[in-house]
Amino acid sequence: MTNTARMILGSAIAWLSLGFNYPLHAQVATPPATSSAAMDRDLLEVTIPRLEQMYRAHKYTVTQVVNWYIARIRKYNGVYGAIENLDLKGALATAAREDADARAGGSHYGRGPMWGVPIVIKENTSVKGLVTSDGWQGYRISGRELIAPRDATIVRRFRVAGAVILGKTNMPDFAASDTNRSSAYGRTGNAYDVRFSPGGSSGGTVTAVAANFALLGNGTDTGNSIRMPAATSALVGVFPTRGLVSIAGIAPLDWLLDNTGPIARDVTDAAIALSVMAGDNLGDDSMDQETVGSAAKAQPGPYAQYLKPDALKGKRFGVPAFILAGAGIPFQGIPAAEDTTKAAAAREASRVPLRPETRAAFMRAVEALRAAGATVVFDDSILPDSFAETISHIGTMPYVREGTDNFLAHYGPPQYHSAREYEQLFGSPLPETIIGGAKVTPNDPRSPVTQVQFEDNPQAEADVLVPRQRALDVYDATLDRLHLDGYVYPAIQMPPVDETMPQDDTISSGPHSDTGWVNMVGVPAVVVPGGWYSNGLPFGLEISARKWKDGDLLGWAYAFEQATHFRKPPVLVDKGLLSIER
């Protein structure tokens, strides 16, 4: 058995013996008497509008609803491993306060757009007073804990809107994996079959939402990490236009590519959540310059106004040829100074062929799009391999450490506020994944790069700004030339993978996608349930649009959802241990 396998097995055993970081049974309040079969029927797959109706009708209190979710987490999380840190005290305190405010306010009490909505937050997102593990055990070592001194901007926005934060979701170390295994907590399983991967790095949020551990949650996405996991689990995952939603307070993997957005069970809930999340840094623009002035560029919210059942009628979508061909785009791109031979080798090493069963599922989804009134265009000139090559030259690796230092300066614990201070204090550096200086993978043909400040580096324009604009120009020009509204393509190049079986003679690191280019140009994209594989696992369809057309994009996703109704809840098991012996 390999070391990795031992780590997963040890983590799995730990789940069953502990469930959480501390004994869960000692935290959970006794469920109220109203936690009955009727309550299960009301709350399983509940939406924000339906929950609001029940609150207004005084059918349930917020405390009752929160306790229902807590009980469900307690029952199933030991198997699925989605929730790393349950904030029982905080969740119940918020619920009690909202119930008291509603009683005091009477019929004139004004509720926020997410009042009483139980949500989860990904482990790289700062929640004041909780550890931001970022999936890494090092941030949880006694004396080194990265305890958030304040909330991330999106968390502040969720709180103002009335959301109840249940806890934080598992993720791979530093969000740097397409599967969901972490040194901080272990493995997360797919809600539709725990043996299979939910994808990464937002797999914890995805499994929590799919399994009805929460109504929705946030994901983060540096190369596919909202969209690919959502596709494995019949969910809606939104990658907003970069700059629409602040990433301040989110531990970065690569701040020039990172984004955050909602993961929900339907488009309406995702639109409501995006309306809450969107906007600048609430007065602290130094944390995220991308959001400055975003309101003037974006379609105005709330985004539910764009949700029309006939939104696909007359719309035209192109299928990117390079995705069907599996053309490779190296994660974080290729810096301008890289040797051309190594650059070509990196592109070849990044190829991800489209599996036949995924191509077949995609073609079925295309027929569903056409049935809903859209035209789907296949043409070899639509974003061909040359587009993939162009976008590969957006090279962000030299600037990784700057993002980590900026995050620690504002959201680090009192003991350290930079990577240098961490190393001086504890005698060992932070991992190179987040401070640079190493290859992305051991077999990466690209050379390690020296870390520099983006703002002070004359090479930054050639590394990032010029190739980014060049790629965006090609993206937009293709839309103009063929009179297209957007692009449509598989969210993943393969089905969710069985992690009890070797994949290419090794423990799976997938599934994998060919969609990291979206981060590199910053356009919006959304994943919706697009059908099912023959083994009962979901297929996800991805749609992208022009920058700042997030409302239109959600409208198309809604129309597809209403025309197909592919989403169905998983059937969970409350016992079982994933066998990973080889």
pLDDT digits (tens, 9 = 90+) for 135-150: 999 999 999 999 999 9
- DSSP per residue over 272-290, as a string? HHHHHHBB--TT-GGG-GG
Rg of the chain in Å (alpha carbons): 22
pLDDT of residue 284: 63
What is residue 20's predicted lDDT score, i.e. its pLDDT? 41
Spatial contact of 449 and 459, defined as CB atoms under 8 Å apart = no
* pLDDT of the residue at 575: 87
Q: How confident is the model at residue 156 (pLDDT cuts 50, 70, 90)?
A: very high
Show Cβ contacts of residue 533 under 8 Å, excluding neighbours closer than 6 positions: 357, 361, 495, 539
Q: Are 172 and 201 in contact (CB under 8 A)?
A: yes
User: For residue 192, which of 512, 538, 555, 513 has the smallest C-alpha distance?
Assistant: 538
pLDDT value, residue 505: 72
d(CA 123, CA 404): 15
- The predicted-structure confidence for 227-284, as pLDDT tens digits, reads as follows 999 999 999 999 999 999 999 999 999 999 999 999 999 999 999 999 999 998 776 6
Residue range 284-304, pLDDT digits in tens: 656 688 898 999 999 999 999
Buried b (16+ CB within 10 A) or exposed e, 225-258: bbbbbbbbbbbbbbbbbbbbbbbbbbbbbbbbbb
Distance CA(536)–CA(534), nearest Å, equals 5
Has 122 been annotated as catalytic?
yes
What does the mean pLDDT of the chain come to? 92
Q: Which residue has the tokens 């531990």?
A: 251
CB 274 within 8 A of CB 238: yes
Beta strands in 234-374 (DSSP E): 236-239, 260-264, 316-319
Give the model's confidence band at 14: pLDDT under 50 very low, under 70 low, under 90 confident, else very high: very low
The structure tokens 């029952």 sit at 75
Pair of tokens at residue 399: 């600037």
Contact assessment for residue 436 and residue 398, using Cβ atoms and an 8 Å cutoff:
yes
pLDDT at 582 over 60: no
Q: What 8-state DSSP symbol labels residue 58?
A: T
Flag whether pLDDT at 355 surpasses 50. Answer: yes
Mean pLDDT of 170-176: 98
pLDDT on residue 578: 54
User: Cα separation of 276 and 160, whole Å?
Assistant: 9
Please give the Cα distance from 542 to 231 (Å, whole number): 8
Give the pLDDT band of residue 34 (cuts 50, 70, 90). Answer: low
The angle formed by the CA atoms of residues 239, 242 and 248, to the nearest 5 degrees, is 100
Rounded alpha-carbon distances, angstroms, from residue 452 to 307, 405, 428, 445, 495: 44, 12, 21, 21, 39
pLDDT at 280: 83
CA quadruple 241, 245, 247, 248: dihedral positive or negative?
A: positive
24: its two tokens: 């869960």
State how far the Cα of 164 lies from the Cα of 114, in Å rounded to an integer.
9
Of the residues 11, 122, 168, 350, only one is catalytic, namely 122
Alpha carbon distances (Å) from 227 to 195, 305, 543, 550? 20, 23, 10, 15
- Which strand ranges, in their side-by-side order, compose the sheet holding 375-378? 83-86, 164-169, 118-122, 216-220, 260-264, 236-239, 525-532, 538-544, 486-490, 316-319, 375-378
Tell me whether residue 59 is one of the annotated catalytic residues.
Answer: no
CA distance 114 to 368: 32
pLDDT at 287: 65
CB 191 within 8 A of CB 572: yes
* pLDDT tens track for 330-348: 999 998 988 889 999 999 9
> 15: pLDDT confidence band, cut at 50, 70 and 90?
very low
- Tokens matching residue 142: 């006694």
The span from the CA of 123 to the CA of 320, in Å, is 33
Mean local confidence (pLDDT), 72-89: 97
Lookup result for tokens 């993939």 = 388
Query: Using an 8 Å Cβ cutoff, are 376 and 366 in contact?
Result: yes
Task: Give the phi and the psi of residue 430 in degrees, each rounded to 5.
Answer: -65, 155
Catalytic residue among 201, 350, 513, 544: 201
Tell me: pLDDT of 516 over 70.
Answer: yes
Cite the beta strand spans of 390-475 per DSSP E.
none
Task: Supply the pLDDT for residue 482.
Answer: 98
Residue in 126, 182, 225, 233 annotated catalytic: 225
Q: Is residue 35 predicted with pLDDT exceeding 60?
A: no
Give me the pLDDT at residue 88, please. Answer: 98
Average confidence (pLDDT) over 177-199 = 97
pTM over 0.95: no
Tell me: cis bond preceding 275? Omega within 30 of 0 counts: no
Rounded Cα distance between 473 and 101, Å, is 51
What pLDDT is attached to residue 244?
97
Q: Answer for the pair 489, 319: CB distance below 8 angstroms, yes or no.
A: yes
Q: Is the pLDDT of residue 22 over 90?
A: no
Confidence of residue 32 (pLDDT cuts 50, 70, 90): very low
Does the annotation count 225 as an active-site position? yes
Judge whether 218 and 125 are in contact, CB under 8 Å: yes
Burial 388-422 (b: 16+ CB within 10 A, else e): bbbbbbbbbbbbbbbbbbbbbebbbbeebbbbeeb
**CA angle, residues 95, 98, 99, in degrees to nearest 5:** 85
pLDDT > 90 in the chain, percent? 85
Percentage, residues of the chain above pLDDT 70 = 91
- Would you state the pLDDT for residue 24? 36
Least confident among 336-350, 400-414, 435-449: 435-449
Q: What is the mean pLDDT of residues 290-319?
A: 96
Are the C-beta atoms of residues 84 and 169 closer than 8 Å to each other?
A: yes
Q: What is the pLDDT of residue 435?
A: 98
Q: Return d(Cα 328, Cα 349) in angstroms, integer.
A: 7
Q: In which band, very low, low, confident or very high, does the pLDDT at 577 lie, cut at 50, 70 and 90?
A: low
Nearest to 374 by CA among 311, 417, 303: 311
**Residue 66 binned pLDDT confidence (cut-offs 50, 70, 90):** very high
* Residues sharing a CB contact under 8 Å with residue 507, sequence separation 6 or more, in sequence order: 2, 4, 5, 8, 499, 580
